[in-house]
């Protein structure tokens, strides 16, 4: 073990005391500040690493869910609702194409209830979408011929082999922000929504059935995990989605986002994942009770919003600590599996250096010369953190806000000893 040189440490401590009494203009602005911590994510609800650990120990999916959502009951509820899942948020452009042989692609003006067909396309034809004022501009390319269609208030896109259009099974590819995602099910709707800061932007939604079409595309945990862990995730994902049914958000024209803002919906890629995709799809199927019902986490026979995250700092967090609101069904329970280096090799312990520019932006200060953790929650997470500028101005943030703005893995963090000596003043 390396021994501390207290003789060398005394001058450092004395210099720190001297700096504390110098005018703030003399305070040194560090290039970065180091943080160390445990866990990944907000830590509320089910720990996915913990679910894996319990499954490896032989627990069932129901036992896992009862552990992480105390006082809840797993029961069958109707889950054949059609969800509006946002798959393109605040976009300026997007494109669609299908390489499926013999497929048919329909472009329809409006929401599709009274179809007004704009164009019918085939394999390898492309559709490009852009914002045109408050309408959707559409350009098609068929056999090398490019055609600009009349802009519409809302565009509905259907492809063959879905519940919305008969014909050969086909897969539609949507490309935006340099990323392409494939969709086997649903129908896509596009409209322009005005953002207060960005102005008019495209909102793209896929309408899929919760029971299967949506859940088959959820990509939250590796499909190679134990069956009980996969089933627990499927039930939790179903419950989370059901808690949002019917609550359409104007800013996205959706009930759910396809990103970690809600849960990761990867479309067809999850179902056809090489070797392992079949195991995820089978787990979803096992949590179905009938063709229109599935196992759901409930309280008082109603689905609860089953928050979940990758891992914790050894205990789960409450919604009140994380976001300031007590939803009544999130409790802190021990989660030792998150601290197991074999189960959680990347985040049982971590260290991050946060640059000066990121820190200054996080605290909305011109610079940050020192940081202090003022209070902790009973779960060990940072409750309030303070940043101080070279001019002496202090700003406080909640731990969760600071985590979000600096991209730290979790709120179970601390300053390193070295930083406490050389930075705080």
Cβ atoms 223, 216 nearer than 8 A? no
Give the residue from 226, 261, 296 where a domain finishes: 261
Asked if residue 252 and residue 139 are part of one domain, the reply reads yes
The answer to whether residue 399 is domain-embedded is: yes
pLDDT tens, position by position, for the chain (425 residues)? 444 443 443 343 333 433 344 444 456 899 999 999 999 999 999 999 999 999 999 999 999 999 999 999 999 999 999 999 999 999 999 999 999 999 999 999 999 999 899 999 999 999 999 999 999 999 999 988 999 999 999 999 999 999 999 999 999 999 999 999 999 999 999 999 999 999 999 999 999 999 999 999 999 999 999 999 999 999 999 999 999 999 999 999 999 999 999 999 999 999 999 999 999 999 999 999 999 999 999 999 999 999 999 999 999 999 999 999 999 889 999 999 999 999 999 999 999 999 999 999 999 999 999 999 999 999 999 999 999 999 999 999 999 999 999 999 999 999 975 444 333 33
> Could you please report the per-residue DSSP string of 353-398?
EEEHHHHHHHHTSS--SEEEEEEE-TTS-EEEEEEE-TTS-EEEEE
Kindly state whether residue 143 falls inside one of the protein's structural domains: yes
Examine the domain organization and report whether 252 and 108 are in the same domain.
yes
Query: How many Cα atoms occupy the beta-carbon half-sphere of 196 within 13 Å?
Result: 2
CA neighbor of 380 nearest in space, from 46, 34, 38, 35: 38
Residues 132 and 189 in one domain: yes
- Asked whether residue 208 falls in the same domain as residue 104, the answer is yes
Tell whether 20 and 86 lie within a shared domain: no
Q: Would you say 267 and 183 are in contact if contact means Cβ atoms under 8 Å apart?
A: yes
d(CA 192, CA 134): 6
Answer yes or no: is 313 within a domain.
Answer: no
Residue 91 lies in a domain: yes
Domain that holds residue 402: 10-38+349-422
Q: Which of 239, 261, 283 is the last residue of a domain?
A: 261
Q: How many domains does the chain have?
A: 2
Shared domain for 162 and 16, answered yes or no, is no
pLDDT of residue 207: 98
Which residues, 6+ apart, have CB-to-CB distance to 194 below 8 Å? Answer: 134, 200, 201
Token pair of 192, please? Answer: 């322009």
Question: Which pLDDT does position 11 carry in this prediction?
Answer: 41
Asked if residues 153 and 145 have their Cβ atoms less than 8 Å apart, the reply is: no
Is residue 137 one of the residues assigned to a domain? Answer: yes
Share in percent of the chain as helix, strand, coil (round to 5): 25, 35, 40
> Quick check: is 113 in a domain?
yes
| CB-based contact 107:140 (threshold 8 Å) | yes
pLDDT of residue 328: 87
| pLDDT given for residue 248 in this prediction | 96
Residues 14 and 103 in one domain: no
Q: Residue 252: CB partners within 8 Å, gap ≥ 6?
A: 86, 89, 193, 203, 205
Specify whether 92 is located in the same domain as 181.
yes
Query: What H or E segment, with its residue span, contains residue 14?
Result: helix 6-21
| Residue positions counted in the chain | 425
The model's pTM: 0.89
191 in the same domain as 96: yes
For residue 416, what pLDDT is reported?
A: 79
Three-state secondary structure call for residue 97: strand
Q: Which pLDDT does position 425 carry in this prediction?
A: 35
Pull the structure tokens for residue 390. Answer: 């070279």
Angle between helical axes of 277-286 and 227-242 (0-180°, round to 10): 60
- Tell me: do 254 and 120 sit in the same domain: yes
In a domain, 312, yes or no: no
Residue 200: how many CB atoms within 10 A of its CB?
15
**CA trace torsion 388, 392, 395, 399 (10° rounding):** 20
Does one domain contain both 111 and 251?
yes
Same-domain status, 364 and 254:
no
302 in a domain, yes or no? no
């Amino acid at each position: 073990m390396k021994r501390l040189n207290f003789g060398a440490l005394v001058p450092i401590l004395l210099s720190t005391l001297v700096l504390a009494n110098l005018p703030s203009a003399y305070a040194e602005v560090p290039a970065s500040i180091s943080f160390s911590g445990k866990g990944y994510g907000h830590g509320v609800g089910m720990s996915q690493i913990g679910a894996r650990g319990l499954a490896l120990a032989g627990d069932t999916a129901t036992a896992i869910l009862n552990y992480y959502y105390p006082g809840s009951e797993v029961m069958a509820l109707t889950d054949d609702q059609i969800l509006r899942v946002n798959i393109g948020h605040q976009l300026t452009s997007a494109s669609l194409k299908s390489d499926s042989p013999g497929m048919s692609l329909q472009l329809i003006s409006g929401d599709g209830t009274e179809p007004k067909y704009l164009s019918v396309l085939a394999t390898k034809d492309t559709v490009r979408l852009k914002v045109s004022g408050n309408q959707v501009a559409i350009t098609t390319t068929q056999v090398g011929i490019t055609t600009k269609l009349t802009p519409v208030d809302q565009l509905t896109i259907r492809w063959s082999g879905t519940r919305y259009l008969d014909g050969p099974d086909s897969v539609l590819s949507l490309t935006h922000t340099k990323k392409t995602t494939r969709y086997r099910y649903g129908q896509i709707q596009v409209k322009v929504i005005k953002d207060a800061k960005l102005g008019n932007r495209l909102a793209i939604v896929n309408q899929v059935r919760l029971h299967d079409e949506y859940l088959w595309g959820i990509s939250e945990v590796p499909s190679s995990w134990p069956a009980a862990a996969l089933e627990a995730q499927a039930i939790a994902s179903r419950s989370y989605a059901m808690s949002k049914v019917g609550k359409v958000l104007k800013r996205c024209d959706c009930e759910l986002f396809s990103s970690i803002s809600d849960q990761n919906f990867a479309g067809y890629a999850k179902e056809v994942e090489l070797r392992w995709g079949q195991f995820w799809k089978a787990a979803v199927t096992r949590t179905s009770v009938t063709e229109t019902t599935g196992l759901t986490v409930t309280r008082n026979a109603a689905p609860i919003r089953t928050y979940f995250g990758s891992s914790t700092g050894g205990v789960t967090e409450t919604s009140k600590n994380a976001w300031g609101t007590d939803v009544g069904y999130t409790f802190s329970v021990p989660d030792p599996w998150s601290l197991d280096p074999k189960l959680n090799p990347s985040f049982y312990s971590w260290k991050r250096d946060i640059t000066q520019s990121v820190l200054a932006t996080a605290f909305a200060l011109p610079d940050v010369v020192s940081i202090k953790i003022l209070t902790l929650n009973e779960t060990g997470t940072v409750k309030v953190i303070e940043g101080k500028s070279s001019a002496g101005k202090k700003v406080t943030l909640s731990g969760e806000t600071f985590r979000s703005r600096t991209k730290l893995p979790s709120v179970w963090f601390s300053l390193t000893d070295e930083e406490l000596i050389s930075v705080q003043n």
